[in-house]
Structures are given as structure tokens and as C-alpha cells.
């Protein structure tokens, strides 16, 4: 029961051309920068936008209006009906498909039980917390037993701590769901945790896809490298030297030949006030262009040849008294650098 979708949407200045396959039980995350076409793809799958040729097991959804498609959608802001009770919200899709009230309510109650919200059945959505609203939206989407579950930034409306909990709950529900799931998200962590496969969309086209661990290890574009938090360059290798396309040369430990991608984590980069002496490392001079505090480290953005991101400890920041405009020495062990052909 593989789902095949050929999505083609043409707009002024934008064209979506996306072929997707999703296996039963598989969760595919669609990731991409603003304007890449993620929402357009989701809308075409849901039947809210023309341009989607979709088939499951040979039977096509062409011409099926949105309300007739076997699709459940969880929208970013959940779009619960404010005037209806939580139970009626969950029963809504079933009622719209002609299920009788008693049966629709019984199914909806089972779903509310499933998401742990039985006692909220009679409540109005405005009395729910963000995490609870998300669970109601998920129950509503799944109550009709859809073949395809579409999740549009399902955790974006939640604060950080709720998000952590709801993400793992959602993961458990997705494991139980036998249908096809497409998750649209900006958040690499949501994608890594929830998806079996990532499809990266840029400018309406797929630029990379694969299992999360493969995408993380071998990003193919700047966007993907940035997403997974790696330094990323293109270059040409000649043995243990890589000449980078945008300037600079790096020494690597494993010899390579020809055009390569070069990656290393910001944590592999060390910063010094003066040139570190007598080590087999890569060293070059760079100027601090930005400093950003993360949870346990400080990310330093440096202009140089090459430009580089470095994660350093708070102690280092204090010791070096880091300020934008400071000139520093960057040091990087050859063994920390990973290359792969492009």
C-alpha cells in the first residue's frame, strides 16, 4: 500500500515539482527553508490545492475533493472549532462523512481516551493548554482512520518544555498509526526524532533525502548543513589537502581525490588569541562576526578563509573576552574533518 504522489504546482515565480513515496507506517518529514513549497505540497496532498496526482496501491485520488480524501490533517495552530466541545471536535470528521452521532461519539471518546483527555470531552477548546489542544487536534485527525496523516508544524505552537513532552507523546502515537505520515517542519529536532526519512525541499525541488542519520552525516547543501549545525564547504581534494571553493585550504587525515564536500562540527574548532605553535592542526586567522549564547555553549561566527562556526565554552568566552570584530586564531584537527564525494 505504498502512497505515490506527484505534486506539480506552478505559480508566478515558483514551481513545485515533488515526487513522494511513503510506505505504510512510515513517517516522512518534509523540511526546507521559508518559501520552499512545504505548505503548498501539504495542501496539494490534502486536496486544498490543485496539482497533486496521488495514488495508494494503484487507486487514485484525482478529482477527489478535500472532504472526500482519506486524509487527516493537524494544522499548525490546530484550528479547533471554538464553539464545539472537545468531543464534537474529535467527532467532526466522522459526522461530516455521514457516521451517525452515537457511533461518531463513541469513536471520538475512544480517541480522547487514547490521548489521555477523556475528562475534557465536554470542555471547550479555549480551556485547554497548548499541549492538550495538540492532542485533541491529533485525535480529530486520526478519528476517521485516514490513510494519510498530514502534520503541519505540529509542535510549533508549544513552548519549549511542553514541546519536549508532546514530541515524545506524538512519537508514540505515530508508532501505533498504520497509515502514511507526512510531517512538515522547520525544526530539525522534530524531524530527527519523529521521522523515518527526511525529504529536503529547496525552491520547490528535492535537494536531498534519506534516513536522518545519513542526512546528518552527509549534508548536500548549505541549508542542510546549517540545519544539522555543521560547518560545510565544497572543495577539491588532492591527497590530504582540500582546496575550498570559497577560499582556504584544509589538511585532512584520510586522503581523498577530486570534488568533495567537507564537514566538521563547530565543537571541533578551538580559538586562540595568538597562533598556536607546533601542532599538526589547521590554523588560520579569522574575525569574530557574531556571538550567540546557546544552552551550554557559545556559538561564535567567524569571517576568514574559510569562514567558520565555533562552539566554545563560557569559560573560553570569558578568557578571550570575545567581542565582534576581534581577530583570533582558529585551530582544527585534521582528524575532525570528514569529507565525501560530491
Ligand X SMILES: Nc1ncnc2c1ncn2[C@@H]1O[C@H](COP(=O)(O)OP(=O)(O)OP(=O)(O)O)[C@@H](O)[C@H]1O
Tell me which stretch binds ligand X (CB under 6 A): 27-35, 141-149, 240-248, 287-295.
27-35
> Cβ 14 to ligand X, closest distance in Å?
4
Q: Which is nearer to ligand X, 185 or 331 (CB)?
A: 185
Is 219 within 8 Å of 225 (Cβ atoms)?
yes
Q: Does 10 bind ligand X (CB under 6 A)?
A: no
Q: Does 14 bind ligand X (CB under 6 A)?
A: yes
Among 18, 22, 36, 94, indicate the residue that binds ligand X (CB under 6 A).
36
> Cβ 73 to ligand X, closest distance in Å?
14
> Cβ 282 to ligand X, closest distance in Å?
36
Q: Which is nearer to ligand X, 38 or 167 (CB)?
A: 38
Among 37, 51, 219, 266, indicate the residue that binds ligand X (CB under 6 A).
37
Tell me which stretch binds ligand X (CB under 6 A): 30-38, 171-179, 272-280, 292-300.
30-38
Q: 10 Å Cβ neighbour count for 99?
A: 18
Among 22, 29, 32, 52, indicate the residue that binds ligand X (CB under 6 A).
32
Alpha-carbon distance values, 94 to 52, 141, 143 (Å): 24, 10, 7
Q: Which is nearer to ligand X, 35 or 116 (CB)?
A: 35
Report the alpha-carbon distance of residue 131 to residue 127 in Å, rounded: 12
Report the alpha-carbon distance of residue 158 to residue 135 in Å, rounded: 12
Report the alpha-carbon distance of residue 129 to residue 125 in Å, rounded: 9
> Cβ 40 to ligand X, closest distance in Å?
3
Is 147 within 8 Å of 56 (Cβ atoms)?
yes
Tell me which stretch binds ligand X (CB under 6 A): 34-42, 100-108, 169-177, 258-266.
34-42
Q: Which residues of 246-264 are buried (b: 16+ CB within 10 A; e: fewer)?
A: eebebebeeebeeebbbbb
Give the residue from 184, 138, 148 showing the smallest Cα distance to 46. 148
Q: Which is nearer to ligand X, 31 or 337 (CB)?
A: 31
Q: Which is nearer to ligand X, 93 or 188 (CB)?
A: 188
Q: Does 34 bind ligand X (CB under 6 A)?
A: yes
Among 6, 8, 39, 322, indicate the residue that binds ligand X (CB under 6 A).
39
> Cβ 237 to ligand X, closest distance in Å?
34
> Cβ 42 to ligand X, closest distance in Å?
8
Q: Return the SS3 of 232.
A: strand
The residues near 50 (Cβ < 8 Å, ≥ 6 apart) are 9, 44
Give the residue from 127, 171, 335 showing the smallest Cα distance to 163. 171
**Angle made by CA atoms 128, 134, 139, in degrees to the nearest 5:** 105
Q: Taking the CA atoms of 53, 57, 63 and 65 in sequence, report the sign of the dihedral they define.
A: negative
Q: Which residues of 131-145 are buried (b: 16+ CB within 10 A; e: fewer)?
A: bbbbbbbbbbbbbbe
Q: Does 170 bind ligand X (CB under 6 A)?
A: no
Task: Look at strands 59-60 and 52-56 and give their pairing.
Answer: antiparallel
Q: Does 212 bind ligand X (CB under 6 A)?
A: no
Among 20, 29, 31, 38, indicate the residue that binds ligand X (CB under 6 A).
38
In the DSSP assignment, the letter for residue 212 is H
Q: Which is nearer to ligand X, 35 or 341 (CB)?
A: 35
Number of shown-chain residues binding ligand X (CB under 6 A): 10
> Cβ 54 to ligand X, closest distance in Å?
17
> Cβ 32 to ligand X, closest distance in Å?
5
> Cβ 223 to ligand X, closest distance in Å?
12
When computed from its CA atoms, the radius of gyration of the chain, rounded to whole angstroms, is 24
Instruction: Report the interface residues with ligand X, using CB under 6 A.
Output: 11, 14, 32, 34-40
Amino acid at each position: 500500500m505504498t502512497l505515490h504522489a506527484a505534486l506539480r504546482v506552478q505559480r508566478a515565480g515558483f514551481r513545485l515539482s515533488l515526487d513522494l513515496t511513503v510506505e505504510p507506517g512510515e513517517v516522512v518529514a518534509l523540511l526546507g527553508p521559508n518559501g520552499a513549497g512545504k505548505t503548498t505540497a501539504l495542501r496539494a496532498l490534502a486536496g486544498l490545492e490543485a496539482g497533486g496526482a496521488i495514488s495508494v496501491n494503484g487507486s487514485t485520488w484525482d478529482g477527489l475533493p478535500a472532504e472526500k480524501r482519506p486524509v487527516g490533517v493537524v494544522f499548525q495552530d490546530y484550528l479547533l472549532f471554538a464553539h464545539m466541545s472537545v468531543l464534537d471536535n474529535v467527532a467532526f470528521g466522522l459526522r461530516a462523512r455521514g457516521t451517525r452521532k452515537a457511533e461518531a461519539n463513541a469513536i471520538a471518546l475512544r480517541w480522547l481516551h487514547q490521548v489521555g483527555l477523556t475528562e475534557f470531552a465536554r470542555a471547550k477548546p479555549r480551556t485547554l493548554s497548548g499541549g492538550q489542544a495538540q492532542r485533541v487536534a491529533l485525535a480529530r485527525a486520526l478519528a476517521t482512520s485516514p490513510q494519510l496523516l498530514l502534520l503541519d508544524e505540529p509542535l510549533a505552537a508549544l513552548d519549549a518544555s511542553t514541546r519536549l513532552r508532546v514530541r515524545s507523546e506524538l512519537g508514540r502515537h505515530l508508532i501505533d498509526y498504520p497509515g502514511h505520515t507526512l510531517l512538515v517542519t522547520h525544526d530539525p529536532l522534530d524531524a530527527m526524532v519523529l521521522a523515518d526519512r527526511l525529504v529536503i525541499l529547496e525552491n520547490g525541488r528535492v535537494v536531498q533525502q534519506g534516513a536522518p542519520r545519513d542526512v546528518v552525516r552527509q549534508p548536500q547543501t548549505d541549508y542542510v548543513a546549517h540545519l544539522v549545525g555543521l560547518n560545510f564547504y565544497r572543495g577539491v581534494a588532492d591527497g590530504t589537502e582540500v582546496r575550498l571553493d570559497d577560499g582556504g585550504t584544509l589538511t585532512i587525515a584520510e586522503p581523498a581525490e577530486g570534488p568533495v564536500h567537507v564537514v566538521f562540527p563547530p565543537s571541533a574548532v578551538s580559538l586562540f588569541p595568538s597562533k598556536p605553535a607546533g601542532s599538526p592542526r589547521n590554523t588560520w586567522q579569522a574575525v569574530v562576526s557574531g556571538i550567540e549564547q546557546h544552552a551550554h555553549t557559545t556559538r561564535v561566527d567567524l569571517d576568514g578563509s574559510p569562514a567558520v562556526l565555533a562552539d566554545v565554552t563560557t569559560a573560553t568566552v570569558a578568557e578571550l573576552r570575545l567581542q565582534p570584530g576581534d581577530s583570533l586564531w582558529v585551530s582544527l584537527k585534521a582528524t575532525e574533518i570528514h569529507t565525501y564525494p560530491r
